[in-house]
Chain A
Amino acid sequence: MTVSDPKWLQEALVPLRRESATGRGFPDRLRAAIRAEANERSPVDLSDLLESHPNPTVFHQALSARLHEAARDFPEDALEILLTETPPHSMFSERLGERLDTAKRAPAPVVRLPGRGRKVARLLLVALLVGGSAYALLHFVRKSREGADRPSPHHSSFRSPPVPKGSRQVELAPHPTQSSPQPLAPLDFRPTENVPPPARVPRVFPSRTPSAAPAPETWLSPPQLSPPQDETEALSLEPLRPQHSDAAQIDKTRPSGLEPLTLEESEEIEGASDGPRLDPLRRPDADSDRASSRQTFEPSEPGPRRLPRPAPAPSAGSPTVR
């Protein structure tokens, strides 16, 4: 017998071959670890994703699946997914990264984002969750970041560049009540004691593992949109359900489905949460119920960011968002 003859080695290794990973709870722990990893995955590198999925539809599906999964249980992760693909050396990215790191280290998840980043994140998240084009929105984010150093973001028009055929183009403008740049207003994502019940919104991407309880959604306040400059810039908002712009309230407990949001539910949701609310998107035939719905969109407590009373109704057919 020589060293090159593996028989002696096989005999020596027999005891090691008999060892197995099973029988000590390892598979269960591994399963839990992988599931946790699935929920806490590292942020998507959107640039990489974009390159590997040149087809906008596939890109959208891949990104939305990740986003939807993250948003279900880990809102701050959803933000991270949306925003960590910022340019590596930009001030915006650094500040955001610091704040997210701080949030991770903090006992309670407190995420404070720059006002602009928060706005972009909300817009992206809302648009993605209701079926907007992630492909176009990604370009929008890049475009808007390019102007991050401008003195006032409210004087710039954030329009996404030409997008692939079939994608929706989104025109976003600052809220008319914002006359000057907002300071870096802290946004506290800690769950409040009175968490509003989840609203019914169209679920575009079905979840595989429904969460047991809805996560705090106070960070998902609706985006602030303003009327377009002219008719040609009007935003196509059919998927956003114009009569209920509070689509950011994600239903995390219901299975996927496109159940319509009733007026009663909308009022219930609006009454349960604080903070400024948007007026619903106006419809030509919505004058009759505008008064009641407008009242519910007002903040429960008067504050400095309270929205003014709406102006007279615009011309019919213009999907105006306040």
Chain B
Amino acid sequence: MSDGDELLSAAKAGDPDAFQEIIAPHIDVVWRLSRSFARSIDDADDLAQEALVKAFRTLRTFRGESTFSTWLYRVTRNSCIDWYRSRMAKSRQREGADEVDVAAESSRGQQALLEQKQRIERVRDAVARLDPKYRVPLMLFDLEGLSYEEVAAVEQIPVGTVRSRLSRARAQLAEILGGPGPHE
């Protein structure tokens, strides 16, 4: 039995330290995926934490039919979509608060930081406007570098569907961001 297998067994038996160790390489991916659904960093923290705790709670159902990362991303994806459905109205309310923060920083003269933040927010807003069924493949494939097959495993859809959703996601994002059109 390899060290990874032993860690996984220990984590499945409820060892929090073992679980921390096996999720360590994936925390950033989980957090960024959560961030694409959350409207604030605090919300992203909460969402990522909720997803990871849920993964710890349900780890004993992991049967090794996929890689652990695939399983973890799927748990995260499901948590994000649940969050998206339940908190959409609340997230919209928070947009106003974010704008107030940006305005406050602007008054302090931190122009460069503001521009950088605005750029990030512009992309994030564009991603956030995508339907989740397009957003998750885009985040996993284009942002995190997963393969078509891995995205298909996370989404539990055929590879061909992943390709078509990615194409639609990019087209929608380009439209939102004013990027290149299909005939440019």
Contact = CB atoms under 8 A, between A and B. Distances in A.
Given A12-B123, A19-B35, A37-B16, A2 B182 contact: yes
Contacts, number: 112
Interface range for B = 35 or more
A42 B142 contact: no
19 contacts: A2-B183, A2-B184, A6-B170, A8-B180, A9-B173, A16-B32, A16-B36, A16-B120, A19-B120, A21-B32, A22-B28, A27-B27, A30-B49, A31-B16, A35-B16, A38-B14, A38-B16, A66-B13, A69-B14
A26 B20 CA distance: 13
B37 interface: no
Contacts of A10: 142
Contacts of A26: 31, 45, 48-49
Interface of B: 13-17, 19-20, 27-28, 30-32, 35-36, 41, 45, 48-49, 52-53, 56-57, 60, 116, 119-120, 123-124, 126-127, 142-143, 167, 170-171, 173-174, 177, 179-184
A208 B36 CA distance: 37
Nearest to B175: A3
Interface in A182-207: none
Interface in A277-311: none
Given A5-B180, A16-B124, 15 more contacts: A12-B126, A13-B143, A15-B116, A15-B119, A20-B28, A21-B27, A24-B45, A27-B27, A29-B45, A30-B48, A34-B20, A52-B60, A65-B13, A66-B13, A69-B14
B28 A21 contact: yes
A17 B124 CA distance: 11
Interface range for A = 35 or more
Interface of A: 1-6, 8-10, 12-13, 15-17, 19-22, 24, 26-27, 29-31, 33-35, 37-38, 41-42, 52, 62, 65-66, 69, 208
Given A24-B41, A65-B14, A38 B56 contact: yes
